[in-house]
Structure 1
Amino acid sequence: MNSLDGYRPRAAWTMTLMLTALALINFLDKIVLGMVAVPLMRDLNLSPAQFGVVAGSFFWLFAVSTVLVGFLANRIQTRWLLLAMGVMWALLQIPQALFSSMTAFILSRVVLGAAEGPFYPVSVHALYKWFPDEKRNMPVALLNQGAMVGLLLAGLLIPVITHHWGWRTNFVLLGVVGALWSVLWLCLGREGNLARRPRGHASADAPPQNVPYRRLLSNSTVLSVFMLGFAGYWMLGANMTWLMSYLEKALGFSGITSGRCFALVIATAAPFSLGLSWLSQRMLTRGASSRSARVRLLCIAFAVSACLYLALMLPGLGPVQKVAVFAVAGALPAVCFALAPAVLSEVVPDGQRGALIGIHTALASTGAAIAPMLIGRIVQAYGSTSAHAYELGFATSAVMLMVAALVALRWLHPDRTPRASSEPVAPSAA
């Protein structure tokens, strides 16, 4: 039986499009706070440091819920977990449109973060049930483009909505959109039927091979993937929280122009992420090792991005030039969100994949929790209208990206890991 047995392209790509739409909603939920930062801080009388705490609070229970639901994903069909998430997201938007105190807003964001945390690992686990290993880069890359489109729409629409109807209206609209997706998923959502067959077993009904979690979590390849994810989420949290303020308060763009610049930065990520994911998948189909097609490609993207973030502090760059540099710097590392889970899937048994991708996302997302708070302190210390203050904050992303690239080059070797294999794929009942 070859790796394409049980593979149904039409159904697989239909589910991919549905989950891409959910990713769009997910990132609208995440970015909306950063997009309304200026009027929200004014209305709630928040300092930059206080706003950093509010923004980071989204991730306080993000990791815990991600791990817990990751383990549930090994036992419960992903379509039901995803439906529960969609409904909860929709309901949790409404309190954010009503609360006015910092404490109440933090509580609302903490609960929403717990509800949204498991989305990515559960979605990737769901997609891997539809696609064999050699075809997994592109669907996950497309899933990530849902996030990019969400950020793009945020840049174009949220400033306009805020200008005409106030910043609270954005949360009401997000609740309506989430409810509509949930109804559609209830009607169309299905579970994939691909599972990797262990070597040496003649039957697809053979019991799955499990590896002790202490062995998986001490593996250098797994730990290196975690580090890559941490750096990627650090950059993502920093950009989502502080880019809009940087454009508006430091570079001097108007609110609507800042939104358009934000959309341009996000739009730049799409061709880079899809193009690098396609290149990686093409290299794999031509016989390249995962070390070359996935790991080295990621490391190059991270290193170049780090250099560009540092270049923002070079003298002589005008506001438009800084936007262009920032766009490419933020675009290159985005491929990590497609390739890192694929590397994990090579070395983790199918029956434990949901949990490991959940643990990966949980640990990685702590970067997105820490970065907004640290940058908030840097901005407050050096002045919230100073471009240099924000650029010092974004330089922390450069440090994280470079460290992660060096760690991966040294210790990330999926082809040497005992679980790395070319085990064939067989239909499963799940």
Structure 2
Amino acid sequence: MHRDGVGQAIDVGSSTVPRRVPTRFLVLGLIFIVTTMNYADRSSLSLVGSSLQTDLGFSSVQLGYIFSAFSWAYVVGQLPGGVLLDRFGARRVYGASIALWTVVTFALSFVGLVTLPVVVWVAVIFALRVLLGVFESPAFPANARVTMTWFPTAERGRATAIFNSAQYFATALFAPIMGWVTHEFGWRWVFVLLGVIGILLAALWLRWMRPPRDHSRLDAAELATMEAGGALVDLDTAGTTERRAPLNRTTIARIFSSRALWGVYVSQYAVNALTYFFITWFPVYLVKGRGLTLLEVGFVAALPALCGFLGGLAGGSVSDALLRRGAPLTAARKVPSVVGMALATAIAICSLTDSTALIIALMTLAFFGKGLGSLGWAITTDLAPPQAASFVGSTMNAFGNVAGIVTPIVIGYTVDATGSFDVALWFVALHGLLSIVAMAVMGPIRRIQLDPAT
């Protein structure tokens, strides 16, 4: 017997409830959709950035700071977001997060409706992007928490790769849509569209999402499979989060003394440097550096994104397949990561050619590799102690998203100083090598053990 969302007992074996698709896969589908919208909202400004820059008269340096605004707050918000998730669970915190970031995205549609000095609108957009970073900060730690709760260890690599690949799917899906909407109706309507979709998604999350033991659709057989495989099914069960002791100095010291976690932190920073180039300056590069129209950019940007998505799925699948065939956990996670980030360095070759077709092909290869190597969240779920699962995920995400501050600003200054993107492309490519070094430093991957009293 299980209980539905209002506490009513139901017969989980009843033939009246469809069981064709395992409930954990539907949960994964929902967090994939939420993450797709998360990245659509955070990347929307870059996809309309050239139009907004033309309409409001921003310089490249000002645009670089605007692009970085999200990450300043996103980084700072990680630790409070992780503490809230460990305390109150993913359902409540994530639901509020979706609703709030949607409101901020919708508010961007009002920018520029009255005539004000450029510096004022720069400040307004910067402030709205800061709020977006605050409200989106629990998202990926919540994804990792849901994955730890619902998926056995041998399925977790693929599960984390699927939700992480939503960042590429978001661009593949929304770049053409946003390009067309901007071309036909103007850039403001992009933010209106995202606002409407986001509110509907927040309502769906709060209505349907429940922890495993409280979910009306989960049957006893699937729950047993999850538990036997290492899923932490009671992580968010009603009452457990309220009873959990707060973080203390001993726990925090143990976490920050882990060499493996520091390897993840540095690797995730390197991976995200490529991510933030792609979701901030890449569309501008295609317009300003390659002479494409915004409508063309919408479709061209979808190609590397689609291959990044396929690479992400491949990385998780390969990792889990290696585990099933008896490979050590360390090798199963690191091999796809190293191969993928080696491929990602191909982005540097774009500075050596004037062929737009070759540049798109190289970007496609680089982002396939980046997707293949993006196993940081899987490694984090393998390392994190249950007592501080979201704190560890948030810490990793905070370090990783420092790249969202550094990358847009560095590129803004280099483009402004040199008049081209050549230096910027080498800067981004070197992060692929940095990730490989971090994997070597990481050492063995095994779950961090805390004192039971912590």
TM-score range (shorter-chain normalised) is 0.7 to 0.9
Aligned to 1:346: 382
Counterpart pick for 1:270 among 309, 334, 341: 309
1:197–1:396 distance in 2 versus 1, CA, 3 Å:
closer
Within 5 Å, give how 1:96-107 maps onto structure 2.
96-100=108-112, 101-107=121-127
Within 5 Å, give how 1:399-418 maps onto structure 2.
399-415=430-446
RMSD: 2.2
- Matched residue type, 1:382: T
* CA distance in 2: counterparts of 1:208 and 1:102, whole angstroms: 43
Tell me the percent identity.
Answer: 22
Secondary structure of 2:22's counterpart equals: helix
- Matched residue type, 1:379: V
Aligned to 2:159: 139
Matched, 1:361 2:383: no
- Matched residue type, 1:27: Y
Matched, 1:24 2:36: yes
User: Deviations along 1:351-391, whole A, 9 cap, x unmatched?
Assistant: 211110011001110111210111011111111xxxxx223
Aligned to 1:380: 416
User: Deviations along 1:292-326, whole A, 9 cap, x unmatched?
Assistant: 111132122112211x02211224x5111111101
1:418–1:22 distance in 2 versus 1, CA, 3 Å:
closer
Aligned to 2:320: 281
Distance apart, 1:138 and its partner CA: 1.5
CA contact (8 A) 2:157 2:316 kept: yes
Matched, 1:45 2:65: no
* CA distance in 2: counterparts of 1:190 and 1:275, whole angstroms: 29
Aligned to 1:247: 286
Matched, 1:327 2:347: no
Matched, 1:12 2:12: no
Segment drifting more, 21-30 vs 137-146: 137-146
Distance apart, 1:334 and its partner CA: 2.3
Q: Which runs of 5+ in 1 are unaligned?
A: 1-7, 199-204, 384-388, 421-430
- Matched residue type, 1:130: W
Within 5 Å, give how 1:114-193 maps onto structure 2.
114-193=134-213
Within 5 Å, give how 1:62-101 maps onto structure 2.
62-100=74-112, 101=121
CA contact (8 A) 1:305 1:332 kept: yes
* CA distance in 2: counterparts of 1:348 and 1:241, whole angstroms: 31
CA contact (8 A) 2:264 2:438 kept: no
Aligned to 1:311: 349
- Matched residue type, 1:314: L
CA contact (8 A) 2:286 2:292 kept: yes
CA contact (8 A) 2:165 2:371 kept: no
Distance apart, 1:49 and its partner CA: 0.7
Q: TM-score, normalised by structure 2?
A: 0.83
Distance apart, 1:419 and its partner CA: 4.0
* CA distance in 1: counterparts of 2:134 and 2:349, whole angstroms: 36
1:197–1:139 distance in 2 versus 1, CA, 3 Å:
closer
User: Deviations along 1:98-125, whole A, 9 cap, x unmatched?
Assistant: 1231111111110011101220111111
* CA distance in 2: counterparts of 1:324 and 1:151, whole angstroms: 17
1:294–1:208 distance in 2 versus 1, CA, 3 Å:
farther
- Matched residue type, 2:335: R
Secondary structure of 2:317's counterpart equals: helix
Q: Greater relative contact order (Cα 8 A, min sep 6): structure 1 or 2?
A: 1
Distance apart, 1:197 and its partner CA: 9.4
CA contact (8 A) 1:228 1:405 kept: yes
CA contact (8 A) 1:228 1:336 kept: no
Secondary structure of 1:301's counterpart equals: helix
1:84–1:208 distance in 2 versus 1, CA, 3 Å:
closer
* CA distance in 2: counterparts of 1:26 and 1:266, whole angstroms: 15
Aligned to 2:13: none
* CA distance in 2: counterparts of 1:137 and 1:411, whole angstroms: 18
Aligned to 2:276: 237
* CA distance in 2: counterparts of 1:346 and 1:179, whole angstroms: 33
- Matched residue type, 1:322: I
Aligned to 1:392: 423
Secondary structure of 2:87's counterpart equals: coil
Distance apart, 1:41 and its partner CA: 0.6
Secondary structure of 1:407's counterpart equals: helix
CA contact (8 A) 1:21 1:146 kept: yes
- Matched residue type, 1:268: C
* CA distance in 1: counterparts of 2:291 and 2:197, whole angstroms: 32
CA contact (8 A) 2:85 2:390 kept: yes
CA contact (8 A) 1:31 1:154 kept: no
CA contact (8 A) 2:150 2:212 kept: yes
Segment drifting more, 244-253 vs 189-198: 189-198
- Matched residue type, 2:366: A
* CA distance in 1: counterparts of 2:335 and 2:137, whole angstroms: 28
* CA distance in 2: counterparts of 1:372 and 1:234, whole angstroms: 9
Distance apart, 1:208 and its partner CA: 9.1
CA contact (8 A) 2:338 2:373 kept: no
CA contact (8 A) 1:299 1:409 kept: no
Distance apart, 1:336 and its partner CA: 4.3
Distance apart, 1:145 and its partner CA: 3.1
* CA distance in 2: counterparts of 1:303 and 1:147, whole angstroms: 20
